[in-house]
Structures are given as C-alpha cells and as structure tokens.
C-alpha cells in the first residue's frame, strides 16, 4: 500500500463528503490509491509536469535522509521541501522528458560557482550533478519505466529541490545561527520569515532569469555587494598563487630597522610582484635594485588597506602581512559575506556602523550617504574584554554620565588600590560608593566594597572613564559608545584597549549629528553640545524620538567606499570560531544563544 504523509493542504469536509458519495457503495477493492487534487497554488507559466513519479517522490519524502547527497540529512528543511511538493501535488519540478529544465540547468551552474558567493559548492552537490543528469538522460533514452528508474528520476528532482532550498536560505540568512556563537542577532526570526517554499514554486521553477531571482534574496547592503563583486578576482589570485608556488618574502634580520627609501632588500622584485597582485603597485612599475619612493608609496597603499602603520616603510609586520596566502584572504571574504547575511533587513544599511577589527566607525545619513568616519577603541583582546557583534537601536544620549563600575572591575582593579592606599583612593580618583537606591554612602568600608554590599561609580567630569557623553542602545552586554579622556589611544594602529565598550574619537561630533537629525529634538548645534558636555547638569538624558539602527560588526574583510578590499587581523578569534563551526558541515549549527562568555555582565567601559 502506498505510504501517506500528512499534507499541508487538507480537503475540506464538504469536498470529502461529495467524493465519498461518488464512490461505489461496495467500496474499493485492492490497493487504495491516494486521491490527488490540483490546488494550483504556484503561479506557474509552464505546462503542468507529470505526476507519474508522485508515489516515488512521496516515498522519498518520508525520510529526512536523502541517500546519495553530500549531506544527506536535510531535517532542518524537510518541512519546506514537503510543502513545495504539496503545492505541486507531487509533480516533478526540474525535469522534462528526461532532461533538466532550463532553470535546473542554470541552478546547477550556480551551485558549481557557489565559491564566487562565499559558499561551499559541495554543500549543493556540485560534483554530483553531471552523473545525475547523465543517468536520467539514459533512462529517458531507453524509455525505462522500472521502479529503479522511476526512483532515480524522483531522486534527481528531490535532490534538486533540497539543494535549491539550501542555496537560497544560505544566501538570504547565512548558514550558521550567530546565536550559536553567542552573538545576539535574531536570524531565527529572519529565517522563519523567509518563505522559500513559495519563492521556489512562484518565482524560481519557471523563472526566465534565475540569477535575478537568486540575487533578490541576497542582502542589499552596498558593502555586501562590493565584497561579493571583488571575491571572484581574489579566487583567481588564489589559483595563480597556488599554481606559481609563490615563495614567502624573506624576513628581516633580527633587530633590523624597517627598510626606508634608498635602502636595499634581497627580494625587491618578488615584493613588487606581490604588490602588483592586488593593485597596490601599478602593473607598469619597473623593478629596481633599491627601495624607491614609488615602491614605498605602493607599500604605504598596502599598509592602509591592512590596518598597518602606513608609513611606507617595509618592516617585519608588513612583510608578515604580505606573506598571508590569498586563500586566507578569500576565507576572510567568505566570513564577511556570511555575517552580512545574518543581519535583519533594517540593519543591512545601519545608520551607525562600527567595524571592530578595523577600529573604525561610519555614520550614514537617512539617504544612506556617508556622514563621517572616526577612529574607535574597542574591547581589549588579551584582557578577555572582547566586544561582541550585535545589532540594536540607539535610544538615548547621556551627557556628563556616571560610570557604574561592574563588580568584576571593582574586584580585579579597584580593590588592589584600596588595599594599598586605603579608602581615600576612591575620592582622590573621583569615585564614590553608593547603595541600591543610588544614595552616596560616605562611611563605606573596604570590606563593604569587596563583598559588594555597596557599589562604586565614577563621578561625571573630565576624568570620568566614559568622558562627557555616552550613547545607549540597550543590550544584554551593557556595551555602548562613549567619549574618553584617553585621547592618546586613537594614535595607535591597534586600538583594543577598553573593557568592552566602544570609545569614540570625536564624541562631540557624534552627539551633534545624532541630536541635530533627531526631529523634533533638532536645534542641537555644536555650541549646545559643548554646553551640555561642560555644564553642571550631570547624567542629562536625551531620549531619541527616532531611534537609530546600530551595528557593532566584525568584518576582517571589508570593501571600502571606493570598492577596494581592506583586510584586518582576527583580533578576537571570531573568524576562527566561525570557520570551526562551518567545518562541521551540514546540518549547520542553529542552536540559540544560551550563555554569553564574551563579557562579564555589568556596565562595561
């Protein structure tokens, strides 16, 4: 007897009664065949396909395992695949007369080119489609109607559907749930809202422009598009580098100073070739026996793209960066594309965007034009104060804030000074103890502080660690943006020096931009901002009438506004964690967030 599965579309009671009345009174003898009704949910333009293989399709869908696939377990997408065939009454979608449809052929080509979109081709059985196509062609040629032949045709169709679902979902929302990596970005909601089942039936099965349909599900971020556009070129560079067996540039001798204009280096020609690979040096530049100004300018251009000290001198740090294989750069771009796909739609073009490994903040006007850039300081990697990646809405600006010290900082950093200098340390450094109601406790003891019977905060002012203004986008990490009295840190190339928050180089500029654009809060010119930062009104909070989308992102490969690719160090190891999760293969991790190990709860700085 044919196996039946629960169908998404049910026959109504009246239809059931009508059909029952039409059946012979004696009932059916022999095998009971399933009654199929065409609901025509799909907006198909092609002629209905054959349902001769419907039972074979249905039998295949009984299991969440599809034999013969690179990743046979498709349980995460089983409901979608079932729904797709329910909408079609189990008719074939991807073959006609023993040949793949034009749409299937185009998808197979795109599966094979998945690396150009930062994906793994074998996730979509790229190497297996040629044999499958040849097999169904042979079946059609021989007019083979055996059970095995019908199973093979059905397997081709279902495998194509599974791969198409995976491909579209991976492009739209990414492969990994970032919550499984403890980044609070709600991809489960984005995934649930993505109706890939309807997209397949209504738009893709009969599409005249398959790449156009696919492009429509990808992020519309300009950074995403620019990174994706640059990726094929880097894949070519990777192949070229591998084929030429390019040797690493030699290191400088221990203790040697960086090479400056007029100096010598034993591998000037290989250095030039390496700089020409990515366009840092013109293809027409000729080699030389000395380190020329032109070569220094090319090195400076390279340094600027890689977050290095851009002085044009060839030091060991620059040599190490030049020796990073192109395969690593490709992987960084893959990671970046994956992370862009995680973002909810309203954060794909955020108004405020801090890229943590770049130590840079960008702000955008309502028309998505760039307002300004500034340097930032973010969480210290070695101190386990890694700033996490997440998205939130900026809702408040606070002038002359208090800094409420987290218990972890009190215990690790404040108590040692109190023990050596006494309780006078608090007042001399602008701190005060306070109780749960916020009242100052003047008679607190060291023991009270050590056992957290009272809390510690730093009073507003020029020496306050938060500076004179902070920008709040409420989140479970207690991470926010703020000014800082330690302006010297912005001169550093690597700026991971905070306890987790993002410090702004020009916080006054940020405040003026945020508030002047927040109607009807308008009227905040630079003078008004200066007055608020330097006046006597402490903890002055301004509620934004129109909250701003904020992205704290982690992109070690970043397309700049001119389209050039920039690369940065994986300072927190987040790339390494993502790559380890992806290396496990399908089904990729979709577990939701449990415990955040990135930061100790409490107000950071």
8 A C-beta contact, residue 289 and residue 276: no
Strand partners, 433: 456
> How far, in Å, are 365, 440, 488, 504, 513 from residue 517 at the CA level?
9, 37, 30, 19, 6
Whole-number pLDDT of residue 603: 53
Strands (E) in 286-427, as ranges, are: 352-355, 360-364, 370-379, 390-399, 403-404
Whole-number pLDDT of residue 408: 86
- DSSP secondary structure code for residue 538 in this structure: T
**Which residue reads 């090195």 in tokens?**
299
Cα angle, residue 370 at apex, residues 367 and 373 outer, rounded to 5°: 150
**Which residue reads 């690593």 in tokens?**
328
**Which residue reads 């909070």 in tokens?**
541
8 A C-beta contact, residue 505 and residue 374: yes
Q: Which helix (H) or strand (E) holds 138?
A: helix 129-142
Under the banding of pLDDT at 50, 70 and 90, the label for residue 44 is low
Domains and CATH numbers, the chain: 13-23+31-218 (no CATH), 249-322 (1.10.101.10), 345-402+462-605 (2.40.440.10), 405-459 (no CATH)
- Tell me the C-alpha distance between 67 and 528, whole Å: 68
Give the pLDDT confidence of 224-252 residue by residue, as tens digits: 999 999 999 999 999 999 998 889 999 99
Please count the other Cβ atoms lying within 10 Å of the Cβ belonging to residue 264: 10
- Tell me the C-alpha distance between 275 and 499, whole Å: 37
Question: Percent of the chain, pLDDT > 90?
Answer: 83
Under the banding of pLDDT at 50, 70 and 90, the label for residue 17 is very low
Q: Which whole number is the average pLDDT over 357-366?
A: 97
Under the banding of pLDDT at 50, 70 and 90, the label for residue 10 is very low
Q: Which whole number is the average pLDDT over 47-59?
A: 84
- Tell me the C-alpha distance between 100 and 104, whole Å: 6
Residue 115: closest CA among 334, 271, 349, 372: 334
Which residues touch 468 (CB under 8 Å, ≥6 apart)?
399, 400, 460, 462, 483, 507, 508, 533, 534
Cis amide bond preceding 520, omega within 30: yes
8 A C-beta contact, residue 371 and residue 595: no
Give the pLDDT confidence of 573-603 residue by residue, as tens digits: 999 999 999 999 999 987 766 544 444 444 5
Q: Is 385 helix (H, G, I), strand (E, B) or coil?
A: coil
Residue 160: closest CA among 208, 137, 190, 128: 128
- Kindly report the pTM of this predicted structure: 0.89
Whole-number pLDDT of residue 403: 93
Evaluate if residue 32 carries a pLDDT over 70: no
**Which residue reads 């100096």 in tokens?**
263
Cα angle, residue 601 at apex, residues 596 and 603 outer, rounded to 5°: 135
Token output for 97: 């007369």
Residue 179: closest CA among 598, 601, 605: 598
> Exposure of 8 by Cβ count < 10 A (0-12 exposed, 13-18 middle, 19+ buried)?
middle
**Which residue reads 């300081």 in tokens?**
377
DSSP assignments along 18-39, one per residue: HHHHHS-TT---SPPPPP----
Whole-number pLDDT of residue 49: 74
Give the pLDDT confidence of 461-472 residue by residue, as tens digits: 999 999 999 999
Q: Which whole number is the average pLDDT over 518-533?
A: 87
Residue 151: closest CA among 172, 136, 166: 136
- DSSP secondary structure code for residue 454 in this structure: S
Give the pLDDT confidence of 269-316 residue by residue, as tens digits: 999 999 999 999 999 999 999 999 999 999 999 999 999 999 999 999
């Amino acid at each position: 007897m044919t196996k039946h599965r629960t169908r998404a579309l049910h026959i109504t009671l009246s239809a059931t009664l009508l059909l029952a009345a039409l059946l012979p009174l004696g009932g059916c003898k022999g095998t009971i065949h399933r009654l199929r009704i065409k609901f025509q949910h799909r907006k198909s333009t092609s002629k209905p396909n054959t349902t001769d293989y419907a039972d074979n399709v249905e039998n295949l869908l009984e299991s969440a395992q599809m034999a013969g696939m690179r990743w046979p377990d498709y349980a995460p997408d089983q409901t979608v695949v079932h729904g797709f065939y329910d909408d079609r009454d189990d008719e074939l979608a991807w073959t006609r007369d023993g040949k793949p449809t034009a749409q299937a052929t185009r998808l197979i080509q795109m599966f094979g080119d998945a690396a150009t979109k930062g994906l793994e081709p074998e996730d979509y059985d790229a190497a297996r489609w040629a044999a499958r196509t040849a097999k169904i062609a042979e079946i059609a040629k021989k007019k083979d109607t055996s059970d095995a032949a019908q199973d093979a045709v059905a397997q081709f169709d279902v495998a194509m559907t599974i791969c198409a679902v995976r491909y579209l979902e991976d492009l739209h929302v990414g492969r990994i749930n970032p919550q499984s990596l403890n980044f609070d970005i709600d991809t489960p909601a984005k995934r649930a809202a993505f109706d890939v089942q309807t997209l397949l039936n209504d738009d893709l099965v009969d599409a005249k422009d398959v790449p156009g349909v696919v492009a429509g599900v990808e992020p519309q971020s300009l950074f995403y598009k620019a990174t994706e556009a640059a990726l094929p070129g880097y894949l070519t560079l990777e192949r070229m580098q591998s084929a030429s067996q390019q040797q690493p540039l030699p290191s400088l001798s221990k203790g040697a100073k960086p090479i400056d204009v007029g100096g010598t280096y034993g591998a000037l020609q290989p250095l030039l070739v390496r700089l020409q690979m990515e366009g840092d040096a013109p293809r027409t530049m000729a080699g030389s026996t000395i380190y020329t100004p032109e070569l220094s300018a090319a090195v400076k251009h390279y340094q600027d793209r890689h977050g290095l000290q851009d002085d044009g001198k060839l030091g060991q740090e620059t040599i190490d960066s030049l020796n990073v294989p192109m395969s690593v750069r490709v992987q960084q771009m893959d990671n970046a594309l994956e992370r862009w796909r995680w973002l909810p739609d309203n954060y794909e073009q955020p108004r405020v965007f801090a890229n943590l490994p770049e130590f840079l903040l960008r702000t955008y006007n309502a028309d998505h034009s760039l307002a300004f850039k500034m340097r930032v300081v973010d969480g210290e990697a070695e101190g386990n104060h890694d700033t996490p990646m997440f998205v939130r809405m900026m809702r408040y600006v606070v002038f002359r804030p208090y800094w409420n010290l987290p218990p972890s900082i009190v215990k690790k950093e404040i108590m040692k000074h109190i023990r050596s200098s006494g309780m006078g340390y608090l007042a001399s450094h602008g701190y005060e103890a306070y109780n749960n109601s916020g009242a100052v406790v003047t008679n607190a003891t060291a023991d009270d502080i050590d056992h957290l019977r009272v809390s510690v905060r730093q009073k507003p002012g020029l020496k306050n660690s938060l500076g004179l203004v902070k920008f709040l986008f409420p989140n479970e990490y207690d991470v926010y943006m703020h000014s800082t009295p330690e302006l010297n840190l912005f001169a550093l190339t690597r700026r991971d020096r905070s306890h987790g928050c993002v410090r702004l180089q020009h916080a006054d500029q940020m405040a003026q931009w945020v508030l002047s654009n927040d109607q009807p809060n308008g009227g905040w010119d630079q003078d008004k901002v200066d007055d608020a930062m330097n006046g006597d009104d402490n903890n002055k909070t301004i509620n934004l009438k129109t909250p701003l989308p904020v992205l704290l992102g982690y992109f070690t490969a970043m397309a700049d506004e001119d389209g050039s690719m920039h690369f940065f160090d994986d300072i927190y190891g987040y790339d390494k964690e993502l790559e380890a999760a992806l290396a496990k293969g399908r089904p990729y991790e979709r577990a939701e967030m449990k415990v955040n190990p990135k930061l100790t709860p409490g107000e950071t700085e």
